[in-house]
């Protein structure tokens, strides 16, 4: 990561793109649970956010990855890639190096 940090807008855009990928895979695999979760994530990240709000939303979204039967329990390589991409984008959203707040 550069010393300038990441722009809030760029990180939010990455999260939105990752959510769209999760949704596409969920629809292709008829996975209603992940499709509903994509709707919830759209609600969290669908509006412009400042750095603090983005960090809070990303932290809330990362709770999907906890415990048995979590969002990260996947059955196909495609869903694993989409879920991993989303996790990475959400982790970047928790960064204290966000700029453009």
Entry pTM:
0.87
At 73 the pLDDT is 75
- Name which residue leads in pLDDT, 54 or 101: 54
Mapping DSSP to helix (H, G, I), strand (E, B) and coil, where does residue 48 land? coil
Work out the angle at residue 3's Cα, subtended by the Cα atoms of residues 96 and 11, and round it to the nearest 5 degrees.
Answer: 50
Taking each helix axis from N to C end, the angle separating 8-28 and 51-61, rounded to the nearest 10 degrees, works out to 30
- In degrees and rounded to multiples of 5, residue 4 shows phi and psi of -75, -20
What is the average per-residue pLDDT within 29-46? 93
At 48 the pLDDT is 87
């Amino acid at each position: 990561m550069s010393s300038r940090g990441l722009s809030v807008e760029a990180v939010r855009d990455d999260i939105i793109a990752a959510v769209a990928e999760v949704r596409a895979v969920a629809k292709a695999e008829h996975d209603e649970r992940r499709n509903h979760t994509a709707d919830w994530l759209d609600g969290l990240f669908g509006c412009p956010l400042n750095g603090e709000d983005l960090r809070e939303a990303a932290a809330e979204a990362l709770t999907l990855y906890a415990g048995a039967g979590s969002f990260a329990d996947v059955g196909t390589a495609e869903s694993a890639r989409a879920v991993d991409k989303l996790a990475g984008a959400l982790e970047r959203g928790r960064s204290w190096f966000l700029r453009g707040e």
